[in-house]
Amino acid sequence: MNPSDLFQKLQDQFANKLPFVAYRNPNESIIKTFLQQDNTVYKTTDFSESGYIFSPFNIEETSVLIPVEKSLILEFESETIEESSINSCASEVIEISDITVVKQNHIALVEMGIKAIHKGTFEKVVLSRQESVTISETNPIKIYKRLLETYPTAYVYVWFHPKVGLWLGATPETLLHIENNQFSTMALAGTQVYKNTIDVVWKDKELEEQQIVTNFIVSNLESQLQDLKVSEVETVRAGNLVHLKTHISGRVNSNPSSLKNILKKLHPTPAVCGMPKEEAKQFILENEPYKRDFYTGFLGELNIKKSISRNPNRRNVENNAYTRIKTVSNLFVNLRCMQIQNTEALLYIGGGITKDSNPNLEWEETIAKSVTMKKVLQ
């Protein structure tokens, strides 16, 4: 199938008000799609199902599944996206939110967070805001093409369900990757604006903020994983930003409830919630002046069976003997994302607050992060 046929299929699916997702892994060129054949809202009960999962920040709310058995699954190479279709996405962006009020509110929220840290309620909390802009280009497929083009190293998706909503994003953060029993994740936190190099100096505030995430992941997964390995911390680029990242890997015991247990232990990490988890989550749910919904939730392939051929050059029938099936889950944290409602785009942006946070700088950080989505709307 060629790319324009597939984009047309996505367009038709959207016009017919049927659920779909299209996604591309970081640094890869293949775009995969699940086109659901009916408009039911399927849900996961225990993360043992097979399909594409879209989970909210608050895991007590509904995680929506696009089941494998209800979908047409297609994939194609994305390298050949035509320039013309990208340029035609140019759109006018008008701020709806009164930015002075939004700024005052966000700074007041951060100040409350810092006070709670000084009182000892928690050590870290991630506080966020929503920003509303009017867009003249509302075609999600056109915006999606632009995201693909702009962020080759991100996980770039468009997700639609007529009864739930329309979301797009380009996230730099893996929640987990499991291939049979091989597990990996990342601790991503700390932000600076990218200035033509990743050779940057980090302040103690950011180093501590990221270390909290690494410590949380390691201590929560120690009981679930064998051969736990933790890399050195490195600087990585995400669009116009850089972050600190640690790679963490290990082996999971292959029992059917492993994934559910790991997700319970892992989500939401202090990269999007805080430490201790429950206290920070409570503070977020009570004090952020809007509902996160799927922002800082997670999304991706859940228990997908893939065949691996040991000798891909052999084309004869005997070759089947060399084909093995592996089960893959590939989940990402829903960051640098937006929800589109008619001519309005709702952008979601947050940042990690610790005892050393400066409210004005935290505000500036959310402005820098909002550029990721605004860039493809302008």
The correct pick among 166, 262, 272, 340 for binding ligand ISC (CB under 6 A) is 272
Residue 127 C-beta: closest distance to ligand ISC, Å: 9
Using CA of residue 357, residue 360, residue 361, residue 365, what is the dihedral sign?
A: positive
Cα–Cα dist 292/26, whole Å: 24
127 binds ligand ISC (CB under 6 A): no
Peptide bond into 276 cis (omega under 30): yes
Determine phi and psi for 189, rounding to 5 degrees: -170, 175
3-state secondary structure of 31: strand
Quick one: 34 or 216, whose CB is closer to ligand ISC? 216
What DSSP assignment string belongs to 318-352? Answer: GGGGGEEEEEEEEEEE--SEEEEETTEEEEEEEEE
* Contact range with ligand ISC by CB under 6 A, out of 5-13, 36-44, 110-118, 350-358: 350-358
Peptide bond into 268 cis (omega under 30): yes
Residue 209 C-beta: closest distance to ligand ISC, Å: 6
3-state secondary structure of 213: helix
Query: What's the N-to-C CA distance of the chain in angstroms?
Result: 30
Residue 336 C-beta: closest distance to ligand ISC, Å: 6
271 binds ligand ISC (CB under 6 A): yes
Binding to ligand ISC (CB under 6 A) within 276-305 occurs at none
Quick one: 81 or 333, whose CB is closer to ligand ISC? 333
3-state secondary structure of 89: coil
Question: Residue 256 carries which DSSP code?
Answer: T
350 binds ligand ISC (CB under 6 A): yes
6 binds ligand ISC (CB under 6 A): no
The correct pick among 24, 243, 267, 292 for binding ligand ISC (CB under 6 A) is 243
Quick one: 272 or 346, whose CB is closer to ligand ISC? 272
Instruction: Provide the binding-site residues for ligand ISC, judged by CB under 6 A.
Output: 126, 128, 173, 188-191, 243, 271-272, 335-336, 349-352, 369
